[in-house]
Amino acid sequence: MRIDHAALFCRNLEQMRQFFIDYFDARSNEQYHNPRTGLRTYILSFTEGSTRLELMQRPDVQDADPSQPAIGYVHLSFAVGSKKGVDLLTRRLAADGYTITSGPRTTGDGYYESCIIGPEKIQIEITI
């Protein structure tokens, strides 16, 4: 058994799609649109592995603040393969104006990571 994909509702579907393409080498399918419900989605695939990310948008998406810890979604974590990769991507995101909330650092349980706030205030962890 494996996790096939995670899904995120977003306010700006195109911005979120482009963010994951630009910074995490995602590949995207064509947009799906259900005219009856207004739902629009993209499925993003990544270079390594088979886990996918579904970005979803509906006209009635709640205005919750995803950067605040709550029950349910906490963050997405991307493994980039090396400490150098974590450092480089973190610097690139910072230079492009994204907020770095921690790291890069080695955590108490031995992970090397950084955390950023991405578009729509989603938390993203970058690790080895």
- What's the pLDDT tens digit per position in 100-125? 999 999 988 788 999 999 998 988 99
Taking the complete model, does pTM exceed 0.75, yes or no?
yes
pLDDT in tens, 27-53: 999 999 988 888 899 999 998 777 889
Q: Are 7 and 58 in contact (CB under 8 A)?
A: no
DSSP designation for 96: T
Q: Which residues contact 5 (CB under 8 A, 6 or more apart)?
A: 43, 51, 52, 53, 54
pLDDT in tens, 2-29: 666 888 888 889 999 999 999 999 999 9
How many residues in total does the chain contain?
A: 128
| Nearest CA-CA partner of 124 in 77, 62, 68, 63 | 77
Q: Which of 53-62, 84-93, 103-112 has the highest mean pLDDT?
A: 84-93
Look over the chain and give the mean of its residue pLDDT values, rounded to a whole number.
87
